[in-house]
Amino acid sequence: MAVASGLFTDLRAIKRELLGASAACRERGLLHGGKWASELAFALESLPVADIPPPPEFTEDDAHDLDAYTLAKSYFDLKEYDRAAYFLYNCHSQKAYFLYMYSKYLSGEKKKDDETVDSLGPLEKGQVKNEALRELRVELSKKQKAQELDGFGLYLYGVVLRKLDLVKEAIDVFVEATHALPLHWGAWLELCNLITDKEMLKQLSLPDSWVKEFFLAHIYTELQLIEEALQKYQSLIDVGFSQSSYIISQIAVAYHNIRDIDKALSIFNKLRKEDPYRIENMDTFSNLLYVRSMKPELSYLAHDLCEIDKYRVETCCVIGNYYSLRSQHEKAALYFQRALKLNPRYLGAWTLMGHEYMEMKNTSAAIQAYRHAIEVNKRDYRAWYGLGQTYEILKMPFYCLYYYRRAHQLRPNDSRMLVALGECYEKLNQLVEAKKCYWRAHAVGDVEKMALVKLAKLHEQLNESEQAAQCYIKYVQDIYSCGEIVEHQEVSTAFRYLAQYYFKCKLWDEASACAQKCFNFNDTREEGKALLRQILQLRTQGDGASTEPSSAAPFFLPQPLSASNTPTRRVSPLNLSSVTP
């Protein structure tokens, strides 16, 4: 049956209709419909740009570019990157040229990531940098020197330099990109990933734009300068961004970073009510629920996100955390692997998968996962700390010392890093450094309440009895002042040592009181009874005084330990009335 030729008399009108349909489909997310219309439009002769409403990036001489761009963009949206680049090869307009270069970049990254995820093995340097990056760098460098790159082109050039580990050059290009196009948030984020400290930030010549305030708040959060970050976010709220879910979530992340778990949970719960279908940052929320062992809440969150979109990276991480909390570590690792198949550059999934391999005693796989995490972001203290733990299990103290130091540099006020460093120094017989680390961990707020005990045992090992007693007294006070109960594993050790210490100092009342406290613990009960019998025998031989503890003398805290740990006076008696359970 012959085609009705009368329907095709005005091919120009048909092409205009097809281009309009392609744009309308893509604007509505109908990518395959847009691709069909674009392919048909490309098959027809190019129209003068004057015949159609042209984008501002295209001139009257760019009619072919516009056709090729429309077709290539439909392929790009469907992740057919090589195909998109092929049709953009001879284009000259800024917009078409950017899409051409970006397609080539993403094509190389996609192929590399596919190989990486298939193996989930260590990233060799030869695998990390695909050959396309070097070609892109040469071409983009020529364009930059000729000042032919706009803000988007500079951004892409910076990304290529960063992938090639040319950090200094990348920073300069990203700064240039923020000046050329301040509203492109992607350039700011890339710049943020390359800044390692506040001094480096101060040296940058950033554009005087309101976007800079958002950037500073974000980089302060990343650099663990939480107080400054919260001040910035509060100022942004005050000027009119109080309804921004982005800012609210960033504030929650900031509180998460300083381990203010209650505050972070409260903000995330509020955010969930205001934006119930939000998935961004929900993996961070699940980390908080995991730390608090809130199984029902974590289960609800996992099921809820699964209904919204079970193929999002954050959803897979939340489900992985749920299985990890249930001690189903194989299933947890499987979901973190699924997350990485969706996005091989997702930092949280690599770190969490390393934790799961640690739980399964698979140190080799844990090391690989942590190294992947560091490659994605060298500021991830959790990955450095995880590597330190892994090498500690492998009994390689020099290695774990290096990784713990890196973690401590990123989190200087985190007591866990300091305690880990102290243990490393102790194993390497660098006892002065170990003492400093333990005392510093106590000074910054010991999360696990173990720094003073470790410091006391170190003094005990070195026969520094007065310093050891000081530490045990402070430890016992801290435990009870925080509402901890005497079942804490090292309390019995503290009372046993103090009982023996006071006995040697002939402070019978204090020795008796500590010995009686030993009765509360199975491992020290018999020693406490034996010590009381000795005290009773000595006092009977002396003045026959009672073995009841004295409460006449008021208790005052021992002098704070200095960095050199050299107290100048005898330890004060412990007033046990203040620590009675």
Q: Return the minimum-mean-pLDDT range out of 168-182, 253-267, 507-521, 542-556.
A: 542-556
Are 317 and 335 a contacting pair, CB within 8 Å? yes
Are 237 and 229 a contacting pair, CB within 8 Å? no
Which of 122-131, 283-292, 465-474, 524-533 is modeled with the greatest confidence? Answer: 283-292
Q: Is the pLDDT of residue 414 over 50?
A: yes
Give the pLDDT score at 544: 44
The two tokens of residue 554 are: 């008021």
Q: Return the minimum-mean-pLDDT range out of 66-70, 512-516, 530-534.
A: 66-70
Are 158 and 177 a contacting pair, CB within 8 Å? yes
Please name which of 372, 412, 411, 404 lies closest in space to residue 387, comparing C-alpha atoms: 404
Give the pLDDT score at 116: 60
Give the pLDDT score at 542: 63
Residue 37's contacts (CB-CB under 8 Å, 6 or more residues apart) are 18, 19, 21, 22, 25
Packed helices 508-517 and 491-504: angle between N→C axes, nearest 10 degrees: 160
Integer Cα distance of 190 and 295 in angstroms: 36
How many secondary structure helices (H) and strands (E) does the chain include? 30, 0
The two tokens of residue 573 are: 């008696």
Integer Cα distance of 541 and 560 in angstroms: 37
Integer Cα distance of 398 and 421 in angstroms: 11
Q: What is the mean pLDDT of residues 444-452?
A: 84
Integer Cα distance of 553 and 575 in angstroms: 8
3-state helix, strand, coil in the chain (%, to 5): 70, 0, 30
Q: Return the minimum-mean-pLDDT range out of 210-224, 259-273, 507-521.
A: 507-521
Integer Cα distance of 127 and 34 in angstroms: 35
Give the pLDDT score at 520: 82
Cβ burial 3-14 (10 Å sphere, 16+ → b, else e): eeeeeeeeeeee
Phi-psi bin for 334: left (phi > 0), alpha (psi -120 to 50), beta? alpha
Please name which of 341, 364, 377 lies closest in space to residue 115, comparing C-alpha atoms: 341
Are 352 and 372 a contacting pair, CB within 8 Å? no
DSSP 519: G
What is the dihedral angle through the alpha carbons of 345, 350, 387, 440, rounded to the nearest 10 degrees? Answer: 90
Return the H-helix or E-strand segment holding 220: helix 211-222
Q: Is the pLDDT of residue 61 over 80?
A: no
Q: Which residue has the higher pLDDT, 51 or 421?
A: 421
Give the pLDDT score at 66: 79
Residue 304's contacts (CB-CB under 8 Å, 6 or more residues apart) are none
Average pLDDT, the chain: 82
Could you identify the residue written with the tokens 């090498």? 391
Integer Cα distance of 213 and 234 in angstroms: 11
Q: Is the pLDDT of residue 550 over 60?
A: no
Q: Return the minimum-mean-pLDDT range out of 20-34, 61-75, 446-460.
A: 61-75
Give the pLDDT score at 484: 53
What number of CA atoms fall less than 13 Å from residue 289's CA on the CB side? 28
Question: pLDDT confidence of 540, banded at 50, 70, 90?
Answer: confident
Which of 61-65, 312-316, 570-574 is modeled with the greatest confidence? Answer: 312-316
Could you identify the residue written with the tokens 């080539």? 104
